[in-house]
Copies of this chain bind each other. A is one copy, B any other.
Amino acid sequence: MKSKNNTRDMILETASRLFQRQGYNGTGINQIIEESGTPKGSLYYHFPNGKEEIAIEAIQLVKEKILEQTKIDLLSANDVTSAFQQHINNIADFYDTEDVTEWLKIGLLASETASSHETLRLSCETAFTEGQKLYADILKEHGYEKNFAQELAVTINALLEGATTISLTRKSGDTLRVIANIIPTLLENKNNGGK
């Protein structure tokens, strides 16, 4: 749709990166300006509602990137279990490096803004919901019972969110690799045995 809007894209790209690494409150407009090379006037021309508006679009951008990569990792697989394991191990690799910029989650923004910026909270909630739906659909396609697939999707979503947080804290993807190792236990049966 938007043909070429280089300045706007540059701002969003820079902002996404900074928000993910430093959070919403830890990232200033001035820093976004400096690192993107955009003058302040241009920023407020493209985003009249300032920081909050930038954050909303940044969340959407990150969400779409994550969903896209998840689809690539999971949709073509014929063995879901090892596909999920591979997916998680792929993410783990990003967390071994000092500066995690390639793959992040929206949990930080979500936690920061949940009680103060309702619109941002809603953006994050939508992102979680869409990720969850993608997982559930894939599991159902592979024969998991509908309700159990739903529960597993919620679980995997939470597992990834938590394990990325801990991997970030430890500066190592090992926590994620343990999670990958547990996946078979979780996906062993296609229903929850009437529980």
B-binding residues in A (CB < 8 A): 21-26, 99-100, 107-108, 110-112, 114-116, 121, 124-125, 128, 151-152, 154-155, 157-163, 165-166, 168-171, 175, 178-179, 181-182, 184-186, 188-189, 192, 195
- For the complex, give the distance between the alpha carbons of A26 and B171 in Å: 23
- For the complex, give the distance between the alpha carbons of A109 and B5 in Å: 35
In the assembled complex, how far is the CB of residue A90 from the closest CB belonging to chain B, in whole angstroms? Answer: 17
The 3 closest A-B pairs by CB, nearest first: A162-B162, A161-B162, A158-B162
- For the complex, give the distance between the alpha carbons of A195 and B188 in Å: 12
Q: Are B195 and A152 in touch, CB under 8 angstroms?
A: no
Copies of this chain, tallied across the complex: 2
In the assembled complex, how far is the CB of residue A92 from the closest CB belonging to chain B, in whole angstroms? Answer: 12
Knowing A151-B178, A179-B158, A189-B185, the reply to whether A115 touches B21 (Cβ < 8 A) is yes
Q: Are A195 and B186 in touch, CB under 8 angstroms?
A: no
- For the complex, give the distance between the alpha carbons of A159 and B152 in Å: 12
Q: Are A112 and B26 in touch, CB under 8 angstroms?
A: yes
- For the complex, give the distance between the alpha carbons of A165 and B182 in Å: 21
Contacts of A178 in B (CB 8 A): 151, 154-155
Q: Are A22 and B107 in touch, CB under 8 angstroms?
A: no
Q: Are A195 and B184 in touch, CB under 8 angstroms?
A: yes
- For the complex, give the distance between the alpha carbons of A179 and B152 in Å: 9
- For the complex, give the distance between the alpha carbons of A37 and B190 in Å: 56
Contacts of A192 in B (CB 8 A): 181, 184-185
